[in-house]
Structure 1
Amino acid sequence: MKKPSNEVLYQEASTYKDMLLRKSWKMRINETVMFVLGMMILSQFFPTNDTRFKVLVFAIAIAVVGLSPFLYKSVLRPVYKLTKTHLIISMSGQEKSYPLSEVEQIYEGRHFYRVGGKKESLMVSRQFLSHLNERLFYYKKGNKRR
């Protein structure tokens, strides 16, 4: 369900910092798997007690953690839009709209929300999250009056 662009209150595309700090558990697991695969490949060429092995493992860790947000950003192209009544999430060109009645904050972390019944990590800035929390507050406050 697409909303007209004039209804969008706030829109944000994820930045490198947002992707680095607020990635989902699935992305973190993928990074761990890539790191382990890199270590296994290195262990075939160098003995594990060799200094070169230790330096290269450290370099792989930095590369995997530091470069993965660029990869995620280029593949997923996440854009978040907030309207008066909906949160619209666009990932990989697919846009999904969620009514604010289906969005609630989970207190495990500031960027974790239950969206459409699923736990989601919103990869956006604190400013967007504060706009979302404010909109959720007004939406829930307005529904209590009815």
Structure 2
Amino acid sequence: MKKPTTDVLYQEESSYKDMLLRKTWRMRISETVLFVLGMMILAQILPTNNTTFKVLAFAIAIAVVGLSPFLYKSMLRPMYKLTKTHLIISMSGKETSYPLSEVEQVIEGRHFYRLSGKKESLMVSRQFLSHLNERLFYYKKGNKRR
């Protein structure tokens, strides 16, 4: 369900920092698996007590954690839009709209939200999260008066 761009109150594309700090569990697990595979390959090539092994292990860790947000950003192209009634998330060109009635914060002050019953991590800035929390407050307050 697409909303007209005139309804968009706030829009944000995920930055490198947001993708580095607020990854989904799936992304974190894939990074861990990639690191373990790199370490297993490295352990087959070099002896583990070698200084070169230790330096390359550190380089693999930096590469996996530091470069993965660039890969995620280029592949997923995450875009978040907030309207008066919906949170719209675009990932890999696929746009999903969540009514604010189905959005609730799971942990206060964090980036985890329950979207249509599923716990999700929003890879957005604190500024976007504050706009979302404010919009949720007004939305729920307006529904209580009715």
TM value normalised by structure 2: 0.98
Matched, 1:22 2:22: yes
Matched, 1:8 2:18: no
TM-superposed deviation, 1:107:
1.0
TM-superposed deviation, 1:85:
0.2
Q: What is residue 54 of structure 1 aligned with on the other side? A: 54
Unaligned runs of 5+ in 1: none
TM-superposed deviation, 1:32:
0.3
Matched positions, count: 146
TM-superposed deviation, 1:116:
1.2
* Identical aligned residues as a percent: 84
Q: In structure 1, the residue corresponding to 2:33 is in which secondary structure? A: helix
Q: What is residue 111 of structure 1 aligned with on the other side? A: 111
Q: In structure 2, the residue corresponding to 1:97 is in which secondary structure? A: strand
Q: What is residue 82 of structure 2 aligned with on the other side? A: 82
Q: In structure 2, the residue corresponding to 1:110 is in which secondary structure? A: coil
Q: CA RMSD in A?
A: 0.8
Give the 3 Å change call, closer, same or farther, for CA 59–111 of structure 1 in structure 2. Answer: same
TM-superposed deviation, 1:145:
0.3
Q: In structure 2, the residue corresponding to 1:49 is in which secondary structure? A: coil
TM value normalised by structure 1: 0.98
Q: What is residue 70 of structure 1 aligned with on the other side? A: 70
Q: What is residue 137 of structure 1 aligned with on the other side? A: 137
Unaligned runs of 5+ in 2: none
